[in-house]
Chains A and B, each alone.
Chain A
């Protein structure tokens, strides 16, 4: 679990120049600060029974959505309220449940983060795949210079695939039984974020990339091996041709007197 909790109790929090007066009982912490692309998340925790989400909390979440981080949704479960967006999340729950729910939300948000990063990387790599795909069928002399580039791309894809595999046991695990509060919150949040479907889709895409670059690597290796053998054969041919030339020339010279 990646988090760097610097809880701020109540008061206000600023983003983009606006300030919201959050309830006094609310604490805000940051999570995933070590994520790339400054992909961190703010988590607001507020204990107590809440029939409705306070307007300030709503506004705090909506500000993140408006800034393009992604849409927010809310979940209700056993007297708890969770408003979730990719960059901000508010958890309003009875005090004895708050910590359990918070941990479950952080865990699933971490998986969501990983998926987003992989999805972004894969989306950016499609044009490269289109360019490289012909090399999966046939590798030519003029492509020899691109071996390093292809190797780097395969490495990158394997890294993405490994990231998906690492979160797979948690993402793809069936709901546990008997369920705990944490598992139920996590299951519901996973369902809302479509984590399983996205993981499957990303895995399929990553497999396409991996297979393509794997084939490119195989073709490149085969080509280099064949080229070496090819060269040796040519050298033998050249030497034999030279011998034939000498023999033929000797005959010509003799015939010419």
Chain B
């Protein structure tokens, strides 16, 4: 079992908390809090980071590359399939090809399974190419046509399915794969290899500097956009939006994630290793360990009652979507869900034998 890093647990907890509060607020009240757009990129970035640490631990246990790849592909396909199931059962049947976070992370796992041995520089290139190609693909596909009502809608045709998967869905492969790949590469730079007996990680502050440099690039692009030529400004840039995930947004969030992870490893991990603030780090560890479970459960908890109530009252499940209650109540419900989650997980989750993660391990490992 790999040693958990408190910095990763903390960042993933921030992502989860942000995600829960934003989803509760948006779906129940139609209000997008200021933290919208923070959780998802952090979560996707950390999925790459965690994959590195997990595979590195398997290498340390002398598992063959072939075996690691097999398990990785199984997990990836599991998540990919779980994504479809999630859309089908938690959202609505017509949302099955929405291409949500689960299908993205599943795709990322499968890709990383095969690209794990590729030189890091090549991974960086792939991430950069995916970031730069994404706006071009969106332009080709006519992104706006798929988001006419403010949410993703597509026809059930092969071309639309693929276009949505690659470029126009909620979490299309391009450019979101950039974050996952970047998370993997950052982890390989930052954390010492436990295998081979040698090689210490890079200086975290140097990684943090790179992250902040990316934030600066993003800021510069945002500021310079009005002054750039039309094809560049319109084709490659798009301001700071999550839907679509513009170049500035992805660059900036990538920088935030890298800097956060680097600073966390530099300053937070030593504190955790010394035993201080054990309670707080324990909370973070619980949330982090059950992140996928919380992702699924929080949707069920706040959407199913909404659909049931809507169906009962008006015959239309989405009748009260985004307008069921005030924002404050929605946020309070979100917070209450988080507290209840923590209590339940601390009580019955110590064995780690239940939940989404345990199911995945049981099926795939």
Contact = CB atoms under 8 A, between A and B. Distances in A.
Tell me if chain B binds chain A.
yes
Interface of A: 131, 140-146, 149, 227, 230-231, 234-235, 238-239, 242, 245-246, 249-250, 252-253, 255-256
A256 B121 contact: no
Nearest to A227: B119
29 contacts: A131-B197, A140-B196, A142-B59, A142-B193, A142-B196, A143-B198, A145-B193, A145-B199, A145-B200, A146-B197, A230-B119, A231-B121, A231-B122, A234-B119, A234-B125, A235-B122, A238-B122, A239-B129, A245-B166, A246-B136, A246-B137, A249-B163, A252-B159, A252-B162, A252-B163, A253-B141, A255-B159, A256-B157, A256-B160
A256 B129 contact: no
Nearest to B122: A234
Contact of A246 (B126, B133, B160): B133
B195 interface: yes
Contacts of A144: 199
A249 B167 contact: yes
Given A242-B133, A256-B159, A234 B196 contact: no
B118 interface: yes
B271 to A, nearest CB: 27
Nearest to B168: A253
Contacts of A234: 118-119, 122, 125
Contacts of B125: 234-235, 238
B351 interface: no
What does DSSP make chain B's interface, helix, strand, loop or mixed? helix
Given A231-B121, A245-B133, A246-B136, A253 B199 contact: no
A130 B119 CA distance: 28
A145 B196 contact: yes
**On chain B, which size bracket covers the interface?**
20 to 34
Q: Which 10 A-B pairs have the closest CB atoms?
A: A145-B199, A256-B159, A234-B122, A146-B198, A142-B196, A145-B198, A252-B159, A231-B119, A255-B159, A253-B140
A242 B121 CA distance: 16
A242 B129 CA distance: 7
A6 to B, nearest CB: 47
Contacts of A143: 196, 198
B331 to A, nearest CB: 39
Contacts of B142: 253
Contacts of B276: none
Interface string B134-169: 001100111000000000000101011011001100
B130 to A, nearest CB: 8
B122 A256 contact: no
Interface string B151-192: 000010101101100110000000000000000000000000
Interface string B191-231: 00101111110000000000000000000000000000000
A-side interface mostly: helix
A253 B163 contact: yes
B268 to A, nearest CB: 25
A157 B354 CA distance: 55
A38 B89 CA distance: 79
Contacts of A145: 193, 196, 198-200
A153 to B, nearest CB: 12
Contacts of A250: 140
Interface in B51-91: 59
A220 B338 CA distance: 51
A235 B142 CA distance: 29
A249 B196 contact: no
A105 B205 CA distance: 61
A238 B126 CA distance: 6
Contacts of B197: 131, 146
A219 to B, nearest CB: 14
Contact of A238 (B129, B137, B166, B193): B129
Interface string B107-119: 0000000000111
A253 B136 contact: no
Contacts of A230: 119
Nearest to A132: B197
A245 B132 CA distance: 13
B155 to A, nearest CB: 8
A141 B198 CA distance: 12
A240 to B, nearest CB: 11
Given A145-B198, A146-B199, A255-B159, A249 B140 contact: yes
Nearest to A150: B198
Nearest to A256: B159
A146 B193 CA distance: 11
A227 B155 CA distance: 45
Contacts of B167: 249
Nearest to B200: A145
A235 B118 CA distance: 10
Nearest to A245: B133
Contacts of B133: 242, 245-246
Nearest to A234: B122
B145 to A, nearest CB: 10
B305 to A, nearest CB: 36
Contacts of A253: 140-142, 159, 163
A143 to B, nearest CB: 5
A249 B166 contact: yes
Contacts of B200: 145
A131 B136 CA distance: 51
Nearest to A147: B198
A146 B196 contact: yes
A77 to B, nearest CB: 53
A109 B296 CA distance: 79
A246 B133 CA distance: 8
A245 B126 CA distance: 13
